[in-house]
C-alpha cells in the first residue's frame, strides 16, 4: 500500500519533511518514504491511497497507567503521597481483572484517537492489560506492577507479583509483534531493598526493561535518604537495578551527579510534565538530561493525575514548562519536543517505531491540515513548529499501527468505545461506593 499525503513529516534523524510525500507500507513495516515525485515504481505494490493532510509517526507514550480511566479525577488537590494512600490504593486493592480490562480498553481508545500508537504501561492485573491492549491493536510495552499493594493481602505482595510478571514475560513477550513485557517495580519507597535486588536479578536474566518511578517528589527523596542514607538513584544502583535496561519515570528531583549516574548507566527517562504539575511535584530538568545525552520520552502518566491520555498536551506543556523555569525562550525547541514524543520515546522504550524510515514499523497518523492552526505556515519547519504550538489531537483523523488502520474519521474502530464508557462508569461507581 502506498499513502500519498500533502506533507510527510518523518521525524527521522534530520527531521525531513516531504511536500507532497509518499509512504510505502508492506507487511506492517515502512518499505519506502520520500518526496511523492521520487516514489519508486514498484510492481505489485498494490493500491495507492491519496490521504491529503499530514502523515507523521504515531506518538509514543513513555509512561502510563491507562486502566486508571476507572479512577479518573480521584483525589484532586492531594499531594502524591496522600493521593496514593487515600484516593488510589484503597480502590486499586478492590479492582478485578475485568475492571482493568475495560479500563484499558477505554484508555486504548482514548490514546489511539489522540494519535498515540505505543504506550508503556505499569499496572495491576497485567494479563488483563495485555489482553485489552492486544484487542485494541495498540503497541504496548507492558511492565507489570511489582510492590506490596496496601490492603490487597497475599494476592499482591512483591514476591507474588514478580513471579507473575516473569510468567507473563514467558507467555506474552513478542505477542502479535505488538507486545513487549518488562518489569514494573513501582518505586524505591514501595519495595524493600531485597525486593529491588530480586527484580534486578530477574530483569537481567530475561533482558527485560525495568520501568520504575524515580524521585517523583522531593518528599520521596527525603524519605529514602532518611531510611537508607542515600538518594533514590543510588539506592537503585546499589540494588543492581541500573545494571540492566531501565526506564525512570518522572525523575523530577535528581541532582547533577545523579543525572551523571543515569548517563553512565544509560538510564532512559519518561518525562510527565502534566502529572507532575497537577500533583504539585515539580518540573523535571529535561534540558539537563538532553545535554547529557539521556534518552528522554514523554508520558501522560495515569488518567487520575492528568486527567486524560492526550499526549499532545504533554507535547506542548514540556517545552512551555522548560522555558518558563529557565526564563529562556531558546530552551527545548518545538521540533525537539516533537522528537521527544516520537523518536525519543521509541528510543527510551527500545522500540523500532517513532520515525518514518524504511524498516521501521508502520505506526503513523494523519493530521488534518485544513485548519486555522496551520495558517500561515510556509516552510516544512513552520508546519512542525505549529504542530506543537497551535495544533492538537482534535486534528488527528486517522491512525495506523503496524499498518493496520485503527482510527478513521476520528473514531477508534478497534474498540467499542460507547460500551467501554458504560462499563467503566458502572465499575467506577462500584469502586467509589464499596
Ligand atoms: Zn506513574
Q: Are 63 and 113 in the same domain?
A: yes
272 CA distance to ligand 1 middle (Å): 8
Q: Are 29 and 40 in the same domain?
A: yes
Q: Are 230 and 262 in the same domain?
A: yes
- Cis peptide bond upstream of 206, omega within 30: no
66 CA distance to ligand 1 middle (Å): 10
Over 90: is that where the pLDDT of 41 sits?
no
Q: Are 393 and 260 in the same domain?
A: no
Q: Are 227 and 139 in the same domain?
A: yes
Does residue 286 form part of some domain? yes
Using only C-alpha atoms, the chain has a radius of gyration, in whole angstroms, of 21
CATH number for the domain including 41? 2.30.40.10
Q: Are 72 and 43 in the same domain?
A: no
> In angstroms, rounded to a whole number, what is the distance separating the alpha carbons of residues 258 and 256?
5
pLDDT score recorded for residue 43: 65
327 CA distance to ligand 1 middle (Å): 28
177 CA distance to ligand 1 middle (Å): 25
Residue 293: C-alpha distances to residues 7, 287, 310, 351 (Å): 30, 10, 27, 18
81 CA distance to ligand 1 middle (Å): 12
For 214-244, write each residue's pLDDT tens digit.
999 999 999 999 999 999 999 999 999 999 9
pTM score > 0.85 for this model? yes
For 133-187, write each residue's pLDDT tens digit.
999 999 999 999 999 888 878 888 999 999 999 999 999 999 999 999 999 999 9
Q: Are 194 and 295 in the same domain?
A: yes
213 CA distance to ligand 1 middle (Å): 6
For 330-352, write each residue's pLDDT tens digit.
999 999 999 999 999 999 999 99
Mean pLDDT of the 210-214 span: 98
41 CA distance to ligand 1 middle (Å): 47
Confidence band for 208, pLDDT divided at 50, 70 and 90: very high
pLDDT score recorded for residue 45: 61
Name the residue among 314, 349, 395 with its Cα closest to residue 55: 395
pLDDT score recorded for residue 46: 73
400 CA distance to ligand 1 middle (Å): 26
Over 90: is that where the pLDDT of 23 sits?
yes
pLDDT score recorded for residue 47: 85
pLDDT score recorded for residue 433: 84
Over 70: is that where the pLDDT of 366 sits?
yes
For 255-314, write each residue's pLDDT tens digit.
999 999 999 999 999 999 999 999 999 999 999 999 999 999 999 999 999 999 999 999
303 CA distance to ligand 1 middle (Å): 10
> In angstroms, rounded to a whole number, what is the distance separating the alpha carbons of residues 210 and 339?
23
Confidence band for 362, pLDDT divided at 50, 70 and 90: very high
214 CA distance to ligand 1 middle (Å): 10
Name the residue among 280, 308, 286 with its Cα closest to residue 298: 286
Name the residue among 146, 151, 124 with its Cα closest to residue 65: 124
Q: Are 40 and 75 in the same domain?
A: no
Confidence band for 377, pLDDT divided at 50, 70 and 90: very high
Q: Are 33 and 148 in the same domain?
A: no
Which residue's entry shows cell 479492582? 95
Contacts of 244 (CB under 8 A, 6+ apart): 200, 203, 204, 207, 208, 210
CATH number for the domain including 150? 3.20.20.140
Over 80: is that where the pLDDT of 189 sits?
yes
64 CA distance to ligand 1 middle (Å): 6
The secondary structure of 170-220 as a DSSP string is HHHTTGGGTEEE-BEE-BTTTS-HHHHHHHHHHHHHHTPPEEEEES-SHHH
Does residue 383 form part of some domain? yes
Over 90: is that where the pLDDT of 44 sits?
no
273 CA distance to ligand 1 middle (Å): 11
Per the structure, the complete domain to which residue 389 belongs is given by 2-57+361-410
Q: Are 341 and 388 in the same domain?
A: no
301 CA distance to ligand 1 middle (Å): 5
90 CA distance to ligand 1 middle (Å): 17
Mean pLDDT of the 8-36 span: 97
Number of domains, the chain? 2
pLDDT score recorded for residue 187: 96
pLDDT score recorded for residue 155: 81
Greatest Cα pair distance in the chain:
67
Amino acid at each position: 500500500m502506498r499513502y500519498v499525503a500533502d506533507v510527510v513529516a518523518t521525524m527521522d534523524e534530520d527531521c525531513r519533511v516531504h511536500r507532497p510525500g509518499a509512504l510505502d507500507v508492506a507487511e506492517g513495516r515502512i518499505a519506502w518514504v520520500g518526496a511523492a515525485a521520487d516514489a519508486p515504481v514498484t510492481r505489485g505494490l498494490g493500491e495507492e491511497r491519496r490521504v491529503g493532510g499530514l502523515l507523521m509517526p504515531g506518538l509514543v507514550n513513555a509512561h502510563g497507567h491507562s486502566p486508571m480511566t476507572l479512577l479518573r479525577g480521584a483525589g484532586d488537590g492531594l499531594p502524591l503521597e496522600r493521593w496514593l494512600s487515600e484516593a488510589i490504593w484503597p480502590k486499586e486493592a478492590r479492582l478485578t481483572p475485568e475492571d482493568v480490562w475495560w479500563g484499558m480498553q477505554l484508555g486504548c481508545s482514548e490514546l489511539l484517537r489522540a494519535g498515540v500508537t505505543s504506550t508503556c504501561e505499569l499496572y495491576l492485573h497485567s494479563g488483563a492489560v495485555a489482553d485489552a491492549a492486544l484487542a485494541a491493536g495498540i503497541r504496548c510495552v507492558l511492565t507489570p506492577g511489582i510492590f506490596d499493594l496496601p490492603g490487597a493481602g497475599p494476592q499482591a505482595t512483591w514476591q507474588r507479583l514478580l513471579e507473575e510478571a516473569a510468567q507473563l514475560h514467558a507467555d506474552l513477550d513478542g505477542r502479535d509483534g505488538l507486545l513487549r513485557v518488562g518489569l514494573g517495580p513501582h518505586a524505591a519507597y514501595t519495595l524493600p531493598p531485597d525486593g529491588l535486588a530480586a527484580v534486578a536479578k530477574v530483569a537481567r536474566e530475561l533482558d527485560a526493561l525495568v520501568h520504575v518511578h524515580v524521585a517523583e517528589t522531593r518528599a520521596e527523596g527525603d524519605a529514602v535518604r532518611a531510611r537508607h542514607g542515600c538518594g533514590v538513584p543510588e539506592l537503585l544502583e546499589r540494588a543492581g537495578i541500573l545494571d540492566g535496561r531501565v526506564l525512570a519515570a518522572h525523575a523530577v528531583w535528581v541532582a547533577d551527579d545523579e543525572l551523571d549516574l543515569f548517563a553512565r548507566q544509560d538510564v532512559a527517562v519518561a518525562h510527565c510534565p502534566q502529572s507532575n504539575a497537577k500533583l504539585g511535584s515539580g518540573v523535571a530538568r529535561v534540558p539537563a538530561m538532553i545535554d547529557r545525552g539521556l534518552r528522554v520520552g514523554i508520558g501522560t502518566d495515569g488518567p487520575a493525575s492528568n486527567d486524560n491520555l492526550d499526549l499532545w498536551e504533554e507535547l506542548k506543556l514540556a517545552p512551555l514548562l522548560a522555558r518558563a523555569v529557565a526564563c529562556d525562550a531558546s530552551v527545548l525547541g518545538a521540533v525537539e519536543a516533537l522528537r521527544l514524543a516520537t523518536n525519543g520515546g521509541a528510543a527510551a522504550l527500545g522500540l523500532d517505531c517513532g520515525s518514518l524510515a524504511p524498516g521501521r514499523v508502520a505506526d503513523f497518523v494523519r493530521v488534518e491540515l485544513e485548519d486555522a492552526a496551520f495558517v500561515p505556515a510556509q516552510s516544512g519547519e513552520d508546519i512542525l513548529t505549529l504542530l506543537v504550538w497551535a495544533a492538537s489531537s482534535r486534528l488527528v483523523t486517522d491512525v495506523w499501527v503496524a499498518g493496520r488502520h485503527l482510527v478513521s474519521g476520528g473514531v477508534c474502530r478497534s474498540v467499542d468505545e460507547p460500551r467501554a464508557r458504560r462499563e467503566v462508569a458502572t465499575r467506577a461507581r462500584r469502586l467509589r461506593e464499596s
